[in-house]
Every structure is written in C-alpha cells, then in structure tokens.
Amino acid sequence: MDVPTPDLVCPDTTWAMGRVSSYGWGVWESRLHALFAVQCRYQLEDESAHLDEMPLMMSEEGFENEESDYHTLPRARIMQRKRGLEWFVCDGWKFLCTSCCGWLINICRRKKELKARTVWLGCPEKCEEKHPRNSIKNQKYNVFTFIPGVLYEQFKFFLNLYFLVISCSQFVPALKIGYLYTYWAPLGFVLAVTMTREAIDEFRRFQRDKEVNSQLYSKLTVRGKVQVKSSDIQVGDLIIVEKNQRIPSDMVFLRTSEKAGSCFIRTDQLDGETDWKLKVAVSCTQRLPALGVGLLDLELNRLTKALFLALVALSIVMVTLQGFVGPWYRNLFRFLLLFSYIIPISLRVNLDMGKAVYGWMMMKDENIPGTVVRTSTIPEELGRLVYLLTDKTGTLTQNEMIFKRLHLGTVSYGADTMDEIQSHVRDSYSQMQSQAGGNNTGSTPLRKAQSSAPKVRKSVSSRIHEAVKAIVLCHNVTPVYESRAGVTEETEFAEADQDFSDENRTYQASSPDEVALVQWTESVGLTLVSRDLTSMQLKTPSGQVLSFCILQLFPFTSESKRMGVIVRDESTAEITFYMKGADVAMSPIVQYNDWLEEECGNMAREGLRTLVVAKKALTEEQYQDFEPMQSSSVEYTHSTYTCAHRRLPLCPQSRYTQAKLSMHDRSLKVAAVVESLEREMELLCLTGVEDQLQADVRPTLEMLRNAGIKIWMLTGDKLETATCIAKSSHLVSRTQDIHIFRQVTSRGEAHLELNAFRRKHDCALVISGDSLEVCLKYYEHEFVELACQCPAVVCCRCSPTQKARIVTLLQQHTGRRTCAIGDGGNDVSMIQAADCGIGIEGKEGKQASLAADFSITQFRHIGRLLMVHGRNSYKRSAALGQFVMHRGLIISTMQAVFSSVFYFASVPLYQGFLMVGYATIYTMFPVFSLVLDQDVKPEMAMLYPELYKDLTKGRSLSFKTFLIWVLISIYQGGILMYGALVLFESEFVHVVAISFTALILTELLMVALTVRTWHWLMVVAEFLSLGCYVSSLAFLNEYFGIGRVSFGAFLDVAFITTVTFLWKVSAITVVSCLPLYVLKYLRRKLSPPSYCKLAS
C-alpha cells in the first residue's frame, strides 16, 4: 500500500493533494483539464511489517505524533502488559526479541533524515534522489516468497503440522508401517489444492493491480503530449489530468484550463466524502502554458487437539495392555501412526474447497447481483453474527439530498405546495421588473441601504422572494457546463465553446446539501447560471440576468458551523451579508423569535437536515469599516454600479486585513472581526433537506432485528439527524423508547448519567462521541455491559478511530461475532476491525468495498447474505467438518479392534491404496456433496428470520455434537470389525475385503442419513463412488488380504460374488446404520428442531 510522504514542498498546498492520491485516488473535475507536477509516492517496503497498523487516513497532526496514533489503531491491539514472571513467560520473550531485532536493524540501516529537495519540472532524469516506482501492489507474495509463505500459513495449524511429522516418520525404517505414498499423497494433495487456491487469488490481485497501474495519462514533454502508464510516472513529470480522471500520485496543482485557476476535486476514496472541494492552482504557474480466520476454524482446531489427546491416550492404553514388552517406545510410536487417521488430514482441504463453493454461490445469486467475496476463508462467519455495526450516510441512506421543507415562521411549505412558492417568485420578479421600467430617471443608485426607514410588515410574497434569493446567493456552489462535442483542445476562447443551456448545466459544491438547495431554487424559478471567484449571475423566471459582486466569502468550518457571503447587487449597489448554518450556531446571531427552536425540532423528528438562513443589510460605511476599498475600483455606467475587481487594494488600517496578517492567533482574530458583523441578523427562513433512505432499508433492518442481531449505527452526523434516521429507518422500533445520553465531560457526570441509564429498560441508546470517550475512559466495562443490553445503539459524531474501537470493545467484552458495514474510506478501520467486514460499493468510491471481506451493491442485500448464505455456509461447514472427523474415527476404531484381537500387535489393517482411496475416490464425492445440503429453503429462511437466532448459539458444532459423532464412530467401527470377524470366521483370510466393503457402504449410507435436502448431484456422487469401488475390486486384489506376506491371502473374486458374501456384508451394514436411522426418526417426531416445524 502506498502512503504519502511528509516531506513535501509547499506542504499547505500539496498535502491535500497527497492525501487524495495515497489511499484512494481523488477525482479531478474541471471544464477541460489541469496540469500537475508529480511530487512523490513512497512505498514503505522496508516497513511492510507495520502496514496493517497504518491508518487508512492520517491528518497533518498524525505525522507530527505518529506514536500516539498507533495506540488508537484497531489492528495494533497494543495491550498493557503485566510485568513480572508471568509477563516474561507469556509475552516478554517475544517483546525482548522483537526489540533486539529492531535495534539491530536500526543500527544497520539508519532512518533517512527528511530534508528539502529540488524537483526539476519536466526533467525527472535530473533528479539526484532515486524514488520508487509509482505502482500499486496489493499482492501478498512474490516469486520467491510464495511457496515458503503458503507452507507457513498451512503448517501453523496443528492439523497439518501433525501430519507433516507423521509423514516424515515414515523415512525411519523402524517406524515404517506402510507405503510412503499412503501418507505423502494425501498431504501433497492438500498442499496442492491450497497452493492452487492461493495462486489463483494472487493472480487475481496481480490482475487488479495491473489494471490500475496500466491506466494511461497525458504527460507533457518538450515534444508535446505523450501517453504514459500510471506506473511509469516519475517525480518531476508534468501530468495533464482530464475531467473525471483519478489522480495517480502525489501532485502539486500547477494550472487548470479555467482562467481563474480553480477546480474541484473529490476525495471519496480517501475519506468517503462525495462532495466536490474547491482547489486553486499555484498563482505563478497558473499563468503558464490498503487473512481472516473464522470462529469455526478455531473450533475445529480445538477439536483436532482433543482428537490428538485421544490418539495419544489410545496408543498408551494399547502399549499398556501389551505389557510394555520389548522396545515399547517404538511400539508406542507405531500405534500413534496406526491410529493417526483419528485426525483426518482431509479436513482442511474439504473445508477450504467447501468455502470456495459457498463464495461462488454468493456471487452467482441472482437475488444479490454484484456481490463479491474477497475473503474466501470466512463465509460461515455470516451465519453467526450477533452485532452489526453500520454507517449511516451512503449505507442506510442514499447520500442524495432532496429539498423537502421551507419554513418562514408563520407559514410552512412542503413538497405538495412548491408550486405556490414558484408562483410567488414569478410574481415578485414581474412586479420588480415593471417598477424598474417605470423608474428610468438614470439617477445614481444609493450608496447605502435605507436602514433608517420605518419597519413595515412584509407580505408573504416578499418574504418568499428574500428567502429564495438568500438561498441562491449564500453557498459555494459552482455551475458547470459540458464542452461541446468535438472540442478537446484548450483554446483562448474555451468558454465560448461551451453550451450554457439549462439542460447542460450541473452543480458542484463541497456539500450535497448545498447542491440540493440550489437545485430547488432553480425549480422555483431563480437559477444560478454562472459563478467565479468574484461574481455570480442569476436568471429570473422572465429570463433577466442579475449580477452580484462577491465581496467576501466566509467558508463553512466545523468550529463555526456556518458560512457567509457579502455580495453587492450591481443593479442597486446594495451590500448584503447573507449567512446560513446550523440552528445551534445561528440562534444567538439572529433577531429574537419564538419559532425557530420549535420548528428545528419538528423537522429533525421528520429526519430532515435543517439550515437557518439570515441576512443583514450593510451600509457603505459599515463595509468600509470592515474592509476599506479605494474609490478608483468603482465605476458607474448608465446608472449601473459595476464591481471591477474583488481583491481591491486594502488599507493597512483595515481590521479584517490586520487580523488576516496577524502572526499569532490568526484564526481567532479573523473570527472576532467577522463576528462583529454577525449581530442582529434578520431571520429569513428555515430549510429542511432529506437524505433519502436506501431501498428496502426498513424491512431489512426489521428482519435483522427479528433474527436476534443487535444493530449499532455509528455516524459522524449530529445527534438530532442520527436520531431521526434511526426512527425513520426503523432501526428503533416504534414501540421502543429512546434514551439520549446527555453530554458529559467529567467522571462524576458520567457516573450520574450511567446510573440514570441503568434504570431504563428495553430502550435504544443515543450517545455522542465526546460522551462516549468520557464513559470509556472511566467506566468502560459498565458502559459496554449496559449498551449491550439495548436493542439498538446510535453513536453520533464518531471518528473512524472511535468506530474501530467500539468494534474491538464488543469483541473483547462479549466474545460474540461482530460485523461492520460501510461505504466510505472513513469506514475502513471499522470494517477491518470486525470479525466480518462488508463494504458497499456506492457513491463514496470503492475504498470500503476493496478493504472488506464481502462487497455488496445495496444495503438490502445483507438480509439474504446472512439469512440464506450465512446460514447455509455455517450449517454445511459444521456438518462437513464433523463428518470428515467421523470418517477418520470409524476406521481408527476398526484398527483398534483388529489390533486387540491379534494380541495388541501394531500391524496395519488396511495398507497402500486402500487407505488413500478411502479418503478420496471411495468417499470424497458423497462427503463433499454435503456442501449442497440445506435444512430450509431460502424463501423460508427469509420469511422466518427468527431461525437465525439458533445459529448464534453455535449448536451445530460444539463438544456435544462432537461427542455424539465420536460415539457413532465407535459403535459403527466396532460393529463392522466384530461383525466381520464373527460372520466370516471360516473365511478369515477375506476379512479385509469383507470389512472394507461394509465400511464403504456404511459411509455412503451415513451421508444419506446426514442429508436433509437431496440434490441431484448428491445422488450422482453416491452412485459414482459405489461404482468406483466395485470397479476397483478387479485390479486391487493384492490389497484385500490380511498380512499378505504371512498369510499369502489375495482377493477371491468368486467368493465376493456369492450370495453368502453379499447378505452377510449387507447384514453388517444394516446393523451399523439401522439404529441410527431409527433414532433420527424418533428425534424428529418427539423433539423436532425449529426448521423441521416450519418445513412440515
């Protein structure tokens, strides 16, 4: 993963661009194209061990205090270690070794000192410093590390390591009990399948990287423009980034085709924000031409260790009954080898192949199109989730803002009354135009507003006109027009080559709310047609164009929670200060009123995002006091006031100028000067914008809640908006109360609020990020315990680090499986911290989708992903794993009975190909066909999500079910071996053929007993395996004898075709299987599982 370098030239300018291109490329948006100089993209290959700990987004402060950031990362999991002997035994030695190795590495390779550098524009070959290639690499291995890496990943599991030791023991003559391929062939097959799967995944990652690295960009050289691949871009190259093209590396913004040097970029793949951000080129150059292990795997690994203990105990018992005669330690090891099939080597390969099938089924499901399984090792995790942590914007909502409500204090307009607003706006401008036509004296316009005129109650039409006018002027929206077809080259008259019709106009801004507001004003008749850094033009319903000069622009900040603009109407010379913002920021600014707070609450309860709009008329003297202008900058022509320039010469006595030039506390001084204007502003209106919910969000959340999944919504939005979305989306049911955790700043306040919350029952919790930090600092365990009892939790104003920390706390305190779902780069840390991460590929880019284990296109798809595919994956994997263990236990039981009969001799019952074929062609297909089994139909699982609750209890794979399969294996193994010895006493030399045939038939019948819903491939697998066994009897006759050297017994074809052989083998098989069929029938009748009740 590529990360930004901190030592950039002009950090204030290039840092934002570096962030754009580092973790998720930014999108460039301009009228034609822009010119960049490549700064650098560093690949920390020497720090690859820390890549999992690196945050996907890092602020400027992050580089100044890297160490503190690492302590907050979800992947780091840096726990406070207990000092002393216990610490040294458990973790201390590892810590000391790591520290020593790190110290030696630092001694051998000193960290390079960061210093300023010179970049030769357009001449990368002149750069003295060598830089890595500008390529993205997400591959886990290379040619040299592939085989060692895969082998390490496989043999770190106890199961595979055990069989490696067993296989190596066969090279010792005293311990050899069979052919080498009996042990090495299964092990080699398992490793071959694993390596093939890893190679396929690695090749897919290589293809994705190649696709990204092969994207073409225009490079400016002395010979003109040439096409260059993204991976071939070097430091110092001049790159032309076209419209809607991703930024390929860290770049310095030099020039754009827009004459003012401005452009818009989008950082959706970095921070999840889909809004367009305004950037301005360097003034001097503008004039130039980022492997999961599932719980089921861990449970099976524990069961494997239990089987190993059983293997050792059985071997010791056999040696003890033997009397410890002779070299008993050698006999002990031989018994360990004879009973080694208790631990089935095919367990891992069957599960891995099954998981690949589950992933393929998910991606091929037509009901959830576009689903991608990026981590094929944990599909069964989808069937055991207890906590679902979800983002709000773009996940539960569409991130599409629609204007819904306009409130003027005495009258409110909704979606069904917008035509009245349109009529008022049209009438208002028609009246103004007629008045302007009658007054043609040509006198000079007034230089100051008539603030001393007596106040007259305004009509509804006048108030609507002022409100709409304020909304269309107070923003940072820019209308953009597409170039005409065929115009691709930059010319001096580029703007003349564009189509300025209404159909060709689109709006770009830093907030989708502002775009929605401007689009609404266009729908009611007042249209923003043009904007640059100094002016705006509006078009009235009659087609008249109104021009306004932008004198000052105060952008929105998270601290001020408002934005403002000072404009001068060029037709009247009136100066007006417009401002809009959140109600908490605007309430102290506007004049006294008795309706704002109440209506803000009403709109918030409807799930609307509110903005308060106000204005203040400024006299010429008031604005001159704020920022004086020279008189030469103003000219009058035909009674029309024209603003020639926005940036006029400033007097040194200007309060605003002095604040901006201050070297200390600049931002505070500037804010203080601006606040001098923000007094007694006239309240114009209150707007309500709705963020539409995703399709079928309500039924999906209700389904998940009925399935016993507790849903936590983690969002960066304010408390009121988050609460409204929780209600409107039915995250909180209508019958449940909501407890809003009040703001706390100290331990005492947190203690009192937690006690108050403890007395609430069955209510949803809403808490802010600041209060959450205080509670976790002093009462972490108590808070998590109380929150986990809530049916739903909403955390607002959450940072990405807080989201990941909440996931980690749930895992640590509850031990239950968690799932995180989001759609933006700010959700990546949460997704990666969860046991199962789901990314939605939406408007905020692919960052969350690429970082997740599963990728979907819509939130509603998570219902079928969990209820159907999660259920089937867990049920099938549990059944498959236990049946594979049963297959090894039954043959080990037969070996134990056989050795007991022959005076505890360490002689193998089955040799050579029989042991290999038993776990492969004779039983592999029927056993693996269990991946097609299902207990309920998909429609039934979706209709009754309550069935999902049983899965979270883990009853499909537990020590109880494991012990049941152990008892079944002991019973069947004993029946098969003793039955063969009793019924075929006169033909004892044929006991191998007899017992092995009965064993194969028993396994095929047991598969049929385990299956709950038959698939035609299961039937084919049963008959195919039976056919393979029958046909192999003709050429494997040398293996069907007991102790071939001692007895000289071979297969008697005439004997196995007799009726006596057939009915006796059938009798043994029936005795071993019929009681189990009877018990299964009685259980389904007397105590049926919940899915059986629904199926019936």
> Residue 554 carries which DSSP code?
E
Q: Which two tokens stand for residue 347?
A: 């367990």
Residue matched to tokens 């790159």:
239
Nearest partner of 711 among 685, 682, 727, 732, judged by Cα: 732
| Residue 355 burial by Cβ neighbours in a 10 Å radius (0-12, 13-18, 19+) | buried
**DSSP letter, residue 642:** E
Q: How many CB atoms lie within 10 A of CB 604?
A: 19
Reported as type and span, the H/E element at residue 370 is none
Q: Which residues of 772-811 are buried (b: 16+ CB within 10 A; e: fewer)?
A: bebbbeebeebbbebbbebebbbbbbbbbbbbbbbbbbbb
As a whole number of angstroms, the distance between CA 494 and CA 670 comes to: 37
DSSP 8-class letter at 49: G
Angle at 551 between CA 549 and CA 557, to 5 degrees: 120
The residues, any chain, with a CB within 8 Å of residue 511's CB and separated by 6 or more, are: 275, 476, 556
Q: CA-to-CA distance for 136 and 1057, rounded, in angstroms?
A: 66
Type of residue at 903: Y
* Separation CA 386–CA 815 (nearest Å): 10
Distances (CA, A) of 43 to 96, 106, 214, 335, 500: 28, 18, 18, 53, 45
- Nearest one of 196, 199, 194, 201 to 160, comparing CA atoms: 194
Q: By three-state DSSP, how is residue 958 classified?
A: coil
Query: Based on the number of CB atoms within 10 Å of its own CB, is 502 exposed (0-12), middle (13-18) or buried (19 or more)?
Result: exposed
Residues 6+ apart with CB under 8 A from 1003: 887, 890, 922, 923, 926, 927
Tokens of 54: 């690196």
- Minimal CA–CA distance to 505: which of 473, 476, 482, 534? 482
- In 664-740, where does DSSP find H-type helix? 666-675, 697-706, 719-728
Angle between helices 769-778 and 747-758 (to 10 degrees): 100
> In sequence order, which residues have a C-beta less than 8 Å from that of residue 413 and are 6 or more positions away?
405, 406, 407, 420, 421
- Joined tokens for residue 701: 């959340």
Torsion angle of the four alpha carbons 596, 601, 606, 607, in this order, in degrees rounded to the nearest 10: 100
Residue 839 dihedral angles phi and psi, to the nearest 5°: -110, 140
Cα dihedral: 120, 121, 125, 130 (round 10): 60
Burial group, residue 726, by CB count within 10 angstroms (0-12, 13-18, 19+): buried
**Alpha-carbon separation of residue 485 from 489, 498, 669 (angstroms):** 11, 9, 49
Beta carbons within 10 angstroms of residue 676's beta carbon: 12
* CA–CA gap between residue 713 and residue 715 (Å, rounded): 6
Q: Annotated catalytic residue: which of 391, 569, 583, 691?
A: 391
Strand-pair category, 575-581 with 562-569: antiparallel
Active site residue 762: no
Angle at 450 between CA 446 and CA 455, to 5 degrees: 155
Could you list the active site residues?
A: 391
